[in-house]
Amino acid sequence: MTPATTHNGSDVPDEELARFIERSAAGLSDAGWPRMPARVFIALLASDTGRLTAAELAEMLRVSPAAISGAVRYLSDAQIAVRDREPGARRDHYRADGTLWQQTVLSRNRMMRRWADSLAEGVEVVGEDTPGGARMAETLAFFRFLEAELPGLLEKWREHQSEKE
């Protein structure tokens, strides 16, 4: 095969890129990601433009357009990838970039806050002095810790990024 210069901006052969995508997607799958969304996500990150059409993704990953459709829907719903279209264009493009991770972390923080609120109710219901209540209280403390620390971490990240620029 010829080099995949249109996908990754270098002379990395298609097969080497495919192996990288599969290895990286396997790692994400081990962390709980569905396999196809993981593959699409890594392909988007590895592409030279950072944005690909469904047809480009299907060709790059050697899968059907239907598989891509489900994967990008999953990534869009999880706010990990964004679908956009240039004015006058007929095809959607999908992209994943670093700023999306910030939004994803913030949405996860809101979800953890809801979990923590639910756990606090559970501790009240069963009592903190019971084994179940103690486990829930420990988990609650962890979520409250993350909730308190996350804004500072995100601010440090923004400072770090602005220093690079």
pLDDT at 152 over 50: yes
Segment 45-97, tens digit of pLDDT: 998 888 899 999 999 999 999 999 999 999 988 888 888 887 877 888 999 87
Q: Closest Cα partner for 112 from 27, 131, 104?
A: 104
The CATH label, of 1.10.3720.10, 1.10.10.10, 2.30.22.10, 1.20.1340.10, for the domain at 5-95 is 1.10.10.10
Interatomic CA distance for residues 57 and 64, integer angstroms: 9
Segment 99-141, tens digit of pLDDT: 777 777 777 778 888 999 999 999 999 999 999 999 999 999 9
The most confident of the ranges 2-6, 10-14, 72-76 is 72-76
The residues spanned by each domain of the chain are 5-95, 98-164
